[in-house]
Each structure stands twice: as C-alpha cells, then as structure tokens.
Chains A and B, each alone.
Chain A
C-alpha cells in the first residue's frame, strides 16, 4: 500500500518537472534568438478591450458566492462521511442505511432552510 503512495509521490515529481520543463523550453530558445523578446510599454499593458485600465485590480469587491461557499462546506462534510459508509453498506445492512438517512435528513433541513431564506439565489 505504501509503495502505491510512493508511486503517486514520484509521479507528482515527474508531473511537476514535465510542466516546468515545458515552460523552460521557450526561455532556453530565447537565448539562441529563436523566440523574440521585444517588450514595449503598450505591449506590456493590460488588455481590457482597448480601454485604459482604471484603478487597481486587487481590491475587495462583493462577489456573490459567499453563501454558496458556506453551504458547500457543510455538504462536503456530509459527503466525506458518506464515502466510507457507501463502501461498507452491504455489511452494515439496514441499520447502517437508517443511520445514514438520519444524517442526510439533518443536513437536508439546513439545505431547505438555506433555500427558503433565498441563500441559493444569485443576486
């Protein structure tokens, strides 16, 4: 089992190396003058349909998925509990099913409350 995770770790290294080396090829080609490098202020400005950009981009602004994120966390925890249950359902039998149904029911009450309170509307 541990060997399998060793494969995953080594493969992560290989994947990162592959991605980084793909980005390094043009940098290497730049030194032998195949890839051009002629920066200018206009070229290096930000493209927003030809308009000059106004103010900074990194400001706080109200993007509306805050409530979604909160509901997501609750439901994600539910799902994490459901996976081991799903693997072992045949051994757990009906009692396991009923326990899981109670857990789902508790979360669904919260979900319906969020729906009623219009937390799931995009506005």
Chain B
C-alpha cells in the first residue's frame, strides 16, 4: 500500500505539464504584451498581498491585532495606503540634488521588475527563456542597489548617505556567497535557464543542496535588506535610512521596490530550490504561488524572531562564515555530481543534510562573530 502510494506520488511528481510553445500565446508582440501585463499585475498584486500578510502576520506574532478596519480582515489596507500616498505632497529638500533625487526611485524599482522576465510561472510560460537565466538574475538584482545609493547621496542628508554606504557594503559582501551558492544548483541541473532547472528537479534541490539553500536564504535576505540585516534603515541609528527625505509617490516606489525584492527572493527560492511550478494535482501556477507565499511567510517569521545584527557582525558573517562554507559546498557538490552513482539519487539527501549539520556546527565553533564591543 505504502509502496503503491509512493509510486503514485512519484508519477504525479514526474509528470510534467505540457510545455507551451516559445511564443505562446501566438506571435512575438502578443507574447510580449500578455506577459508584460501579467508580470506587472503579478508583482503589484502580490506586493499588496505581502504588505497585508506581513502587517497582519507580524501583528499576530507580536500579540497585536494589526490593520483590521479597512475592508474584511483589513484586506483593503494596502489599497488605502496606496491612495493616501498618491495624494501626499512631494517634498524635495532645497539642498538635494534634484535630478538624482527624482531618478533614484526609477532606478531602484525598474530592475526589480526586470528580474521577473525570466521566472517561469508554468512549463514554458515566461517572458523570455534566456539560456543564461541565473546569470541575468544575479546581474540585474544588483542594479537596484545603485538606486538606493543614488537616493542616499542625492538627499544631502548625512544619515541617508551613511545608510546608502552600509547598503553598498552589505551587497558587496553578500554577493559572493549568494552567487557561489547558486553555482551548486547550476552544477546539479547542468543549465542556467530557470525553466530547465525546474525540469531537472526530480527531487527538489532543497533536499539535495540543503547547505546551498541555507547560504542562499541568509545571503539573499541580507541583499534585499530584510530584518535581521536591515542595517540601512536601522530606525534607532539612522532616522529612516536612505528614504528619509522622500515623500509621497517617490517613497511609495521605494516601499514597492523593497517588497518586490522580497517577492523576487521568494520566487527565486521557490524556482531553484522548491521545484518551482512542479507539484501533484493542483495546477502548476497555483503550486508556484503557494510556494512563493510559503517562503515569504518564513521571511516574516525570521523578521519577528531575530534581533538586528551589528555592522561588524554583518560583515564577519558574510566573509568568515558564508563564503568559506559556500566554497566547501561548491566543491562537495562538484565531486558528488561526478562520483555519485546515478541509480541512487535519494541516498544523497541524508548524506548532504549530515554534511550541512556538521559544517555549520563546526564552523560556528571555530570563531566568534565579534560579540561584545567594537574596536573603533
């Protein structure tokens, strides 16, 4: 009975939905138009959902109520916020660099939207199936840092500038472990195209690459400046960080970009480690949505659980903990790809989880991440 059930599950899992033709639905321009609208609607809709989910979820975890007046369960709160922010006065400081101040929200938001061009919603249902998908994601996701730096610099506010500098330092440090953790996925899948990677996941890569998943999750959270790594808007130190001098729609763009980045991290994790649109019974796009919301819920959970780190701890974590482990993970994965017998892919799961546990425990014993006072 159990064996039978296992076989059934495996059949459901390995049955891929039919691949859509490259320019579905019909013709170059239709494909572009349909997917542009889908992506923008997807991002805006889910960002609103995420804002609601984060505020309600955080309130729940902190034994508060959260927004519950606008609409049923406060569901219309993000809409009310959007309208409010649209009608606010646009304040630009006299000393600010006006052109850069105006451009910064655009530069911060547009690249985040660009990332979704290569994320598959279903087998073959994506704007452009680039054969360098992951490289594209890694390259484009770093550009919005430039927007944040422009915002901090143009504000002519010392706290904003410090916040922007911190963001650049964090992104420069966490880029390396994140990108190295992705190489492990590429090794297993043998392709850079995100759709091909989803197809290669007979077993979700979170089970084959537990260490890579952990490194990518931590590094990704730091790159999109989620708590506990949100040093660039540490309210107790830097007023409101890089967007202190922004109001109205410009501020809303940064807010939007922040949550769109969280959405992009959830979508990338769902695609690369949780088998993307794959899953039994339910339609593929629904599976993808469920996985994205699940990952985002974990991100909220971490935000409410872990206190904010200090900047020297942030740097030490990236350079002394994540980077060496990412290199070791890469080498182990490369050896496994070459030497592991093809017939036994499932046996890799306990081995890799054991390797992850040993390495993380060992490495955290080796040195301390600079607790106590900072030397100045």
Contact = CB atoms under 8 A, between A and B. Distances in A.
Give the dominant DSSP class at A's interface.
Answer: helix
A20 interface: yes
Nearest to A35: B87
B244 interface: yes
Interface residues of B, number: 83
A22 B187 CA distance: 41
B353 to A, nearest CB: 22
Contacts of B64: none
Contacts, number: 202
Contacts of A8: 114, 117, 127-128, 130, 136
Given A12-B110, A23-B253, A44 B91 contact: yes
Nearest to B31: A7
**How big is the A interface, by class?**
35 or more
Nearest to A122: B312
B157 A11 contact: no
Interface in A8-53: 8, 10-12, 14-16, 18-20, 22-23, 25-27, 29-30, 34-39, 41, 43-49, 53
A79 B184 CA distance: 12
A113 interface: no
A119 to B, nearest CB: 9
B89 A68 contact: no
Interface stretch (B68-76, B203-211, B290-298, B332-340): B332-340
Interface string A52-71: 01000110000111001101
A123 B374 contact: yes
B95 interface: yes
Nearest to B127: A7
B330 to A, nearest CB: 7
B106 A19 contact: yes
A101 B362 CA distance: 23
Interface in B263-315: 311-312, 315
A36 B90 CA distance: 8
A120 B315 CA distance: 8
Interface stretch (B8-16, B53-61, B170-178): B170-178
B250 interface: yes
A38 B88 CA distance: 11
Contacts of A86: 183, 186-187, 334
Contact of B334 (A58, A89, A115, A120): A89
Nearest to A24: B249
Given A7-B127, A8-B128, A11-B127, A48 B90 contact: no
B368 interface: no
Contacts of B89: 35-38
A14 B180 contact: no
B91 A4 contact: no
A117 to B, nearest CB: 13
Please give me the 4 A-B residue pairs with the lowest Cβ-Cβ distance, nearest first: A122-B312, A7-B128, A65-B169, A4-B128
